[in-house]
Amino acid sequence: MTESNSSTLSTSSLQTLVLGGGCFWCTEAVFKEVKGVVDVESGYSNGQASQPSYEAVCTGRTGCVEVIKLTYDSAQVSTRQLLEIFFLIHDPTTLNRQGNDVGSQYRSGVYFTDETQASAAREVIAEWERETGLKGQVVTEVLSLSDYWPAEEYHQDFFERNPNQGYCVAVAGPKVAKFRKTFRELAKS
């Protein structure tokens, strides 16, 4: 658990949500900063491969998405708030691409574990499209979570362990800063 006050958590309010928003290093870095998120794990999901490796996923032939699995305390942060953060930190209008990361493994997706999460995702997408004037252009898939596999250990906590690495400085760092600026009240102190 990444949250120090884990003894105050109610297991009945813990939920899991899986998000694909490009490179998992970036999304993991942001969500580790969110109050109420008690664990973030980089992984792969919604593909056809059993226990896929990073190298296999990068070929684009496994059907897997680079994702993060969030365990969060819904009494501290709502699914809706997590989704609002998610749509702020990535581009949900580019199919199979986030910046320079290109391939189906970088597609935008919300992989829900219950129908309440699916409904929240659809609502946030509809509102985002209305507010931005991009009606019908969001390509984020909203699907039930299937075939989740944790990524290799060297991908876990990557930004935290490598803050000066080029990709972290150029891509992950600005996403973390954007989250902190926009969602100050949801940032861990």
Around Cβ 7, how many Cβ atoms within 10 Å? 6
The answer to whether the beta carbons of residues 18 and 123 sit under 8 Å apart is no
Among candidate residues 23, 26, 64, 168, the one labeled active-site is: 23
Q: Which DSSP helix (H) or strand (E) runs through 115?
A: helix 115-132
Distance CA 61, CA 64 (A): 8
Say how far apart CA 175 and CA 164 lie, in whole Å: 15
At 3 the three-state DSSP class reads: coil
Nearest to 41 by CA among 53, 52, 25: 25
Concerning whether 23 is annotated as a catalytic residue, the answer is yes
As a whole number of angstroms, the distance between CA 71 and CA 59 comes to 28
Report which residue type is found at 167: Y
Structure tokens at 22: 């490009």
| Helix boundaries (H) for the chain | 24-31, 54-58, 79-89, 115-132, 158-161, 166-167, 173-182
Going by the DSSP 8-state scheme, the letter that residue 151 receives in this structure is: P
Catalytic residues: 23
